[in-house]
């Protein structure tokens, strides 16, 4: 299964605002921990190693 890089969020602005709201008022350490938990939750939800590898590749180099 290929990584979906086409727009997929029903409401992009709401989703982005929710991400920022989750970090509101957190220290750097708390935000880092939240991000780590979020990544792990989403990684598990995706499950597919092939998709994860593509996501890791694009995250490392957006132009790849």
Binding site for another protein (CB under 8 A): 32-33, 36-37, 39-41, 44
Closest to another protein by CB, 6 vs 28, is 28
The string of DSSP codes covering the chain is -----S---SSHHHHHHHHHHHHTT--HHHHHHHHHHHHHHHHHHH--HHHHHHHHHHHH-TT-
Least separation, in Å, of the C-beta of 19 and another protein?
A: 16
Closest to another protein by CB, 39 vs 59, is 39
Closest to another protein by CB, 17 vs 40, is 40
């Amino acid at each position: 299964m290929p990584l979906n890089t086409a727009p997929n969020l029903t409401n992009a602005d709401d989703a982005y605002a929710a991400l920022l709201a989750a970090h509101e008022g957190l220290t750097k350490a708390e935000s880092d921990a939240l991000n780590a938990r979020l990544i792990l939750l989403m990684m598990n939800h995706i499950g597919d190693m092939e998709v994860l590898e593509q996501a890791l590749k694009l995250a490392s180099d957006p132009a790849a």
